[in-house]
A and B are shown apart, each in its own frame.
Chain A
Amino acid sequence: MSEIGVVCVQQVSKRFGDVPAVNDVSFVVEKGEFVSLLGPSGCGKSTLLRMIAGFETADSGSILFEGRDYTNVPAHLRPVNMVFQSYALFPHLSIFDNVAFGLRRKKVPDKEVTRLVLQFLDLVNLNDLSARFPSQLSGGQQQRVALARALVNRPSVLLLDEPLAALDLKLRKKMQVELKVLQRELGISFIYVTHDQEEALALSDKIGVVSDGRMLQYGPALEVYDRPRSEFVAKFLGEANIIQCTVRASGDWLELVAAGNTVRMRALAESPPVGAKVLLAIRPEDIVLSATAVEEDNVYPCVVENKAFSGTAPIVWVNVDGKTLSVRSADRRTFDAMEVGMPAFVGWRSTQGVLIPEDHR
């Protein structure tokens, strides 16, 4: 089963009129995995989710659940459930009846319906509100009802379309933790659509970055973060300084030239040939900043351009020979010592940074 996965999306495409919404997307979700589809609004991630749910039909390609083809099966016959961004709770039904809706459609006996509904309301800490109506609940509570209503059906995969987008930051962080705990407890696979990269990183086992209807990269969350294969992924998942370089020497060590400066890198499995144009992506938190000298493999003098205090990781922008780099590593003392216009040094280790072929911008 593990080769097929719980959900297998194979070369799926979908157009709306002349506009391609989803373009040749393939990925596999294994049992119990938390997968995020991450991308800017309008990138096609929601359309992809709606095709998995059965609300849109794919123009080509196929969608399999546990190895069985469901590409053209209508929504109500699919072993998946969805949590909508707007929750889509039925306003004319009580919380109990909302959660019971799916079970009753499956003709589960009344006694069993009551037991399961109460069990799942208990799971989301709402058992004492079962007689209320959706309009009487707060946003966070409605969110939990939506979760219970979907999960009570024991779907083989739960689809979530930006479920936390309507909540305020504090509640969102709290719900993130609850969601993750719930997912681990139940062992149900989640496919989670979001445009919030922090949320995707905090929750996911795997991340798929979607842009312009294409799946740019799909893999374990840390791998996608550490080894972005394109400029878009590097910039969308976390922050990245992108530096245009030319390869000067290739071997055990790579030597790159950017605006007259040399960058030394430890050689990779697939090193680009000498003379190749590449993009060096380096995370702001991987750069060390100091008013005096820095002990790193690559060190450059710079001028402080600007700084902003943003709480846990204050950010400083420095200029190295006309190129602005953002730096997040500064500890509080260094940050306070930095003044706009003053000279300083930045540097990073030869193991840090990722090379992206120039045509993968």
Chain B
Amino acid sequence: MTPEDASVAAKASTKAEFMVGRLWLLLPATIVVAIFFVLPVALTVPKSVFRDGSVNFDAYAAVLGDGYYGLVLWRSLWLSFVSTVVCVLLGYPIAYYATRLSARRYKRYIYMIILAPLFTTAVTRVIAWTMILGNQGIINTLLMQLGWTEAPVRMLYTDTAIMTGLVYTMVPFSVLTIASVLENLDGKLEEGARDLGATPWQAFLRVTLPLSAPGVSAGAILVFALCLSAYVTPALLGGGRIKVMASLVFEQFMRTANWPLGSAIACVLLVVTGFVIFAYGRVLERRVTLGEDRGRP
């Protein structure tokens, strides 16, 4: 150990002591997280394995053994995935417009318009969609009056209806997370790229997009999680016929009062969601930059 190393080590250890001495400052935040986030989840796990005073894994056997639950899980993941992709694809241009192209004084109004749907309850918003998509809804009435179709097109109570509703409710979340990253990006970077011969589109692809990737992934994870746990939208726009994981959990708890089974479904959903988000993060880490890696010495 050279003297410099020693002094660095000494500094590090005093710093560590300093940190440890102040760890109690984290206590309030830790308590809040524990009570509101960890505890409810932690309580679900014992619920799923206790039945009639004994520990058993019957509920898990039921969930994992029955193909029906696998199907519902797959549908939930698929609906959430498609809705998330659409949310990001729609949200990015809106966020870009709000942060980059609009004049400063209009920004506030743009955000207000984006947030407005969140001021009403989910039920109102979704019922509005049933009026748009229903057999006597606006779209079908229009189609029939124009003579394009004889009978109403079935739109309500389909996967598409659920995805439409999910996208509609979740877009604000993707817009806001992406906008918060774009807002902090130096606008000069895009100019720098243009100055170096990049077309506006190339400047966006090579500079702005990779630098806003953290916002996109944060928004995607948030929307995906919200979609997967959404209950009202699939229930109303799926008409109770199309089941998702959240509606199964609701049924087990509120209708059949089979708490162990409900908890088991919830735990499986939690693990699968956790895995999907983890895998997604790993994939993203590997491609932070877009193909600028050739010709490195």
Residues of A within 8 A of B (CB): 53-55, 74-77, 80-82, 84, 86, 88-94, 96-97, 100-102, 104-106, 110, 113-114, 118, 130-131, 149-150, 153
Is there contact, CB below 8 Å, between B197 and A153? yes
Q: A76, B195: Cβ atoms under 8 Å?
A: yes
Q: Tell me which residues across on chain B come within 8 A of A81, comparing CB atoms.
A: 195-196
Q: How far is the CA of A93 from the CA of B293 in the complex (A)?
A: 9
B152 within 8 A of A: no
Partner of B202, one of A92, A105, A114: A105
Query: Which residues of chain B have C-beta atoms less than 8 A from A54's C-beta?
Result: 194-195
Shortest Cβ gap from A230 to chain B (Å): 33
CA distance A93 to B191 in the complex (A): 16
Q: Do A131 and B199 touch across chains, with their CB atoms under 8 A apart? A: no
How many A-B residue pairs have C-beta atoms within 8 angstroms? Tell me. Answer: 86
Would you call B296 and A101 a contact (CB within 8 A)? no
Q: Which residue from B192, B197, B294, B297 sits with its C-beta under 8 Å from A88?
A: B192
Query: Which residues of A sit under 8 angstroms from B196, Cβ to Cβ?
Result: 76, 81, 101-102, 105, 149-150, 153
Chain A residues with CB under 8 A of B207: 90, 92
Instruction: Answer whether residue B193 sits at the interface, using C-beta atoms and an 8 A cutoff.
Output: yes
B133-158 toward A: CB 8 Å interface, digit per residue (1/0)?
00000000000000000000000000
**B295 contact set on A, CB distance < 8 A:** 96, 100, 104, 110, 113-114
Ranked 5 nearest A-B pairs via Cβ: A88-B192, A102-B196, A105-B197, A88-B188, A110-B295
Instruction: Give the contacting residue for B193; candidates A53, A101, A118; CB below 8 A.
Output: A101
Could you tell me the distance between the alpha carbons of A77 and B191 in the complex, rounded to whole angstroms? 13
Measured between beta carbons, the chain A residues less than 8 angstroms from B199 are: 76
- A86-B186 contact, Cβ under 8 Å, with A75-B191, A92-B210, A97-B292: yes
Distance in angstroms from A55 CB to nearest chain B CB is: 6
Residues from chain A with a CB closer than 8 A to the CB of B288 are 92
Contacts of B188 in A (CB 8 A): 84, 86, 88
* Alpha-carbon distance between A97 and B294 when the two chains are bound, in angstroms: 9
Contact of B198 among A105, A118, A130 (CB under 8 A): A105
- The answer to whether B289 touches A96 (Cβ under 8 A) is no
B189 interface residue per 8 A CB criterion:
yes
Using CB atoms, name the residue of chain B closest to A94.
Answer: B296
A90–B297 touching, CB < 8 Å: no
Q: How far is the CB of B266 from chain A (nearest CB, A)?
A: 39
Chain B residues with CB below 8 A from A150, complex form: 195-196
How far is it, in angstroms, between the C-alpha of A231 and the C-alpha of B207 when the chains are bound? Answer: 46
Q: Which residue of the partner chain B has the closest CB to A80?
A: B195
Structural contact, A106 and B195, CB atoms closer than 8 A: no
Contact B186 A114 (CB under 8 A): no
Q: Does B90 contact A (CB under 8 A)?
A: no
Contacts of B264-297 to chain A: CB distance below 8 A: 288-289, 292-297
Q: Are B297 and A76 in touch, CB under 8 angstroms?
A: no
Judge if B211 is at the interface, Cβ distance under 8 Å. yes
B191 touches A92 (CB 8 A): no
Complexed CA–CA distance, A34 and B56 (Å): 83
A130 CB to closest chain B CB, in angstroms? 6
In the complex, how many angstroms separate the beta carbon of A139 from the nearest chain B beta carbon? 15
A-B contact pairs, 24 of them (CB 8 A): A54-B195, A55-B194, A74-B194, A75-B195, A76-B198, A76-B199, A77-B197, A81-B196, A84-B191, A88-B192, A90-B192, A91-B189, A92-B207, A92-B210, A92-B289, A93-B289, A97-B293, A97-B296, A101-B196, A105-B196, A106-B197, A114-B295, A150-B195, A153-B196
Contact A102 B197 (CB under 8 A): yes
A92–B297 alpha-carbon span in the complex (Å): 17
> Which chain A residue lies CB-closest to B198?
A105
- Chain A minimum-CB-distance residue to B192: A88
Contact partners of A113 in chain B: CB under 8 A: 295
Whole-angstrom CA separation of A113 from B198 in the bound complex: 16
